[in-house]
Amino acid sequence: MNRKIIFEDLGVSEYKKTWQYQEKLMQRVIEQKQQKKEHPEQQSDNYLLFVEHPHVYTLGKSGNDQNLLLNYIQLQAAKAAFFHTDRGGDITYHGPGQLVGYPIFDLENFDIGLRKYIYLMEEAIIKTLTDYDLTAMRDEKATGVWLDAGTPNARKICAIGVKSSRFVTMHGFALNVNTDLTYFQHINPCGFTDRGVTSLEKELGEKQGFERVKAQVLEYLVNIYQGTLAEY
């Protein structure tokens, strides 16, 4: 099994540009898998992208447009873009101060299915938050990582939405680090109207070192998928 994970930090990048890049890498991995049938010695690659996006709202393929509470003029005023995407899940927000991770993994390399893949992604985020003395957890009714799940004070700190084709993944997670949470007031996050959203900065009372969080998440992701890290 090829568990080498090729990591690339894209810095700040527009959502559409990054989405197209993900699709390019996904197609590359799918083609490698097809070639593997004729040449078993060849291995498909695994990629992991980290990025920050300018203000953007994205709606999953099963999402409801009514969960975006802004019209076009208001979107322009908020300097935010809006995209319908092909990932799972409903609506979410990406913006500065939020760590977005896009694994383009061949799940056959890791000998796991999609459900276990998402579970492990959540686990990496939970372990990261434990380093900050935050007790994060899953919610049985929703993907992602939550604080005080199952209580009236439940609030999401990390959203997860993925796509899989031929056991190759794209899209991923969005962890609120120093995110401007007021942007979530313009949507029903992930389709929920009764749950809050939070960030590391809000929970800890001050801005957090973004590069430190990035390094911690990267280490946990690589370890939890039992991979080895390689720079792009």
The catalytic residues are 190
Note the helical H segments in the chain: 15-38, 72-77, 107-110, 114-130, 200-204, 210-224
Distance (Å, whole) CA 160 – CA 189: 12
Cβ contacts of residue 121 below 8 Å, gap of 6+?
A: 103, 160, 172, 173, 221
Identify which of 123, 181, 124 has the alpha carbon closest to the alpha carbon of residue 156: 181
Annotate 181-213 with three-state secondary structure.
Answer: HHHHHHECHHHCCCCEECCHHHHHCCCCCHHHH
Q: Tell me which amino acid residue 59 is.
A: L
